[in-house]
Structure 1
Amino acid sequence: MASSPTCKKRLLTDTSSPSPKRHRTDLTLEKKVQLIADSEKLPKLSQKELSLKYGIGRATVSDILKRREQYNSQFKENCESKKKRFPSSSKYGELNEAVFKWFSQARAKNIPLSGLIVHEKALQFSKELNLEEFKASNGWLESWKNRYSIGYFKVCGESADVDIESVNDYKRRVPSIVAGYHNKDIFNCDETGLFFRALPDKTLAEKRKECKGGKLAKERLTVMMCCSSVGEKLKPLVIGKARKPRCFGNINVDKLPVLWRSNKKSWMTSETFKDWIGRINSDMKKQRRHILVFLDNATSHSHDLTFSNVTLRYLPANTTSKLQPLDLGIIRAFKARYRKNMMQHLVMNIEKCKHASELTKAV
């Protein structure tokens, strides 16, 4: 007897492959709270849309929404499910708590705190607690950050298109340019801006807390450096705004380890540059040396200068990042050392100030 259409339909249904099962998805507490928030904000998502978005069944979505108060409360109590729990009886438990308490007070003043600052403060606490074996290692810092759910955030170099062909062409010409000079007589000079009061623009902060910093301290100095290919360093030129800053006190400016100059904007000018190079030429004349100085073609570096014992050679435009030796790590090393000394100074003064802007004035 021939099969009826209904029987054929049933047979096809019974013999076809089963539909794939949905993989079980266990949402974290954070995801559940996020789902609840999605269900409340406009435009509201339906339970079907929520189930597709989070890869769970509609019944699970319904259950989560019914228990929204419970999940929100748990999320708040557990530091938004991110803060890790450690036993309070850890080896450096007292030190960790002291550092975190100090850290929280400093961040309440919107003071940016780098890992280096936390290192310095931890070492201070270790001395007070007689923890002689404590080293404030990078491993300790990572562990401390995880313990208190601390992240590294931006508080809300030069870049230019480099003509590689010009760079390569100039490199090919360098041997002929330096011909006749000993390595000790080949120098490079370059200036850099130093925001000497600027706090870090990134800070450690508790995750999911607002990340604020104080007003950016924009006071700057211009520092001109000059060194030879064998490491000889000439006296740096430092340009500030005041002819004799109040902090100099009774110091004889002429006896500073740097050559101090000033103008209204603390910038390099043609007159200042000419005076500085002239002094170098006089020194080389006394030493009976003839030196070659490579420098960039900034407008303040006058091109019409000639000296008896100093020869100036200008680098091609927009090639500083590739050809300027001082810009390939030396200036950065100087600033890193300055920042380290500054951080030590800040650590000593954080407790004495009420806000980040007050801290910068102490520099």
Structure 2
Amino acid sequence: MAPKRKPATSSGAPPKKQRSVPTLEEKLDVLDLLKGGMSVASVARKYGRNESSIRAIKIRETEIREAVASSAPRTAKVTNQVRDKALVKTEKALNLWLEDMNRKRVPINGTMLQENALSIYAMFKPPTEEGQPSDKKEFRASQGWLNSFRNRFNLKNVQTTGEVASANEEAAKAYPEQLKEIIQERGYLPEQVFNADETGLFWKKMPTRTYISKSERQAPGFKTAKDCVTVLLCGNAAGHLIKPGLLYRSANPCALKGKNKNLLPVFWQSNKKAWVTAATFLDWFHKCFILEVKQYLEEKGLDFKVLLLVDNAPGHPDALWFVTYTRLTFSRILTAMDADPNVNVMECWKSFNIADCITYIKQAMDAIKPETVNACWRNLWKDCVNDFKGFPAIDKEVECIVQVARQVGGDSFGDILEEEIEELIEGRRETLTNEELEELIKSSTEDEDDDDEQEEPATWTLHKFSEVFQTAKHLNDLISDYDPSME
């Protein structure tokens, strides 16, 4: 019997097998498993790859880890290093800018990438001495470079044409009806339909005209007011908000020393850029969302049957939440100054840390009423909205912030205007400038801490209890001594 032939393509040649290239994140996982003592054969079986591929990763361990340490995205598939240092910085900054645009839902195409690459490169390019010819080939952001950049950073969703906006509009118009069909077909209740989306928060930013902001602009090094956290908000169509996720650039900030991160009012995560990635989202989904929603539905006596919408579905009032957060930060300064007249605005602002930020995020979440969250679904799922009477006026919150600021007084707060507060609130939607991208690139390498050290979860001890009770007794004795009334 004649041997069987492999099926041929239209050209007569046998079909080529698709080559699966592991990402840097997968390679890191492989290296960690090998370092932990797992054999090459076991790792190969776990990932469904040849042993030779695993050995090749092991041989390139130093190169792979250096690529990740240099802020290359973990979704990248290659570790080639560009010889032009200015171009290396340009591509890192361009990737930061692209991720920032994705967070703000701004569609990007290849032409926009090329234009911005030239602009950023001009900032990083070293100056050429007058009269001396440059020995380097001029960077032109060509189509070939663009293809290589997309491949290096594994960018699959960058459009090559400018038609993405119109396509998104058409899809958005059709989506509510499609969602309605899914809900009716599966029998979902408003309590079982959730929406999750992230929002950036410059948690120490102040109005640009204040003395604080002026001092920040003049001070060298990393600008604290540009320190950003990403808050992942999630709520259902009935108006219930679950514990928010929070991403920060430091894993173990000093302000949380001695705190058990599992007991924070937020789901704590960290990476160097404080931006949501596929890995951090899945971690939040499995360790926070599922547990929170399961407990919520059990309390409601409902089945654990859930529909989770992500990205563009407008399921939470982030503008109102941010305004409330701003009001709480201004009130904190006023309260601190009332408690100690010797404290000034700058001292209050400097003492404001990431632990305080977490506290005010929680308070701002609690201030949002369920009916407000429910009303946010009016365009997507009108039938689930109960007696929509409009959103609470954000203008009133802005007026309240202005009143608190004027009570603080001094340091440009005494004559602050509503327009400045509105500018501060809208500023969270601004795109990163070239200067801010340069600052982020520098801070990612200069701002090192003990993030690699794993902290033991903090717990109560007999010594801690004893110290608290002794302090409480001392306070009670002081009150008895100072109070003129024996009663």
The interval holding the TM-score normalised by the smaller chain is 0.3 to 0.5
> What's the TM-score, normalizing by structure 1?
0.42
User: Which one has the largest radius of gyration?
Assistant: 1
The structure with more helix, counted as a fraction of residues: 2
TM-score, length of structure 2 as denominator length: 0.32
Structure with the higher strand share, 1 or 2 = 1
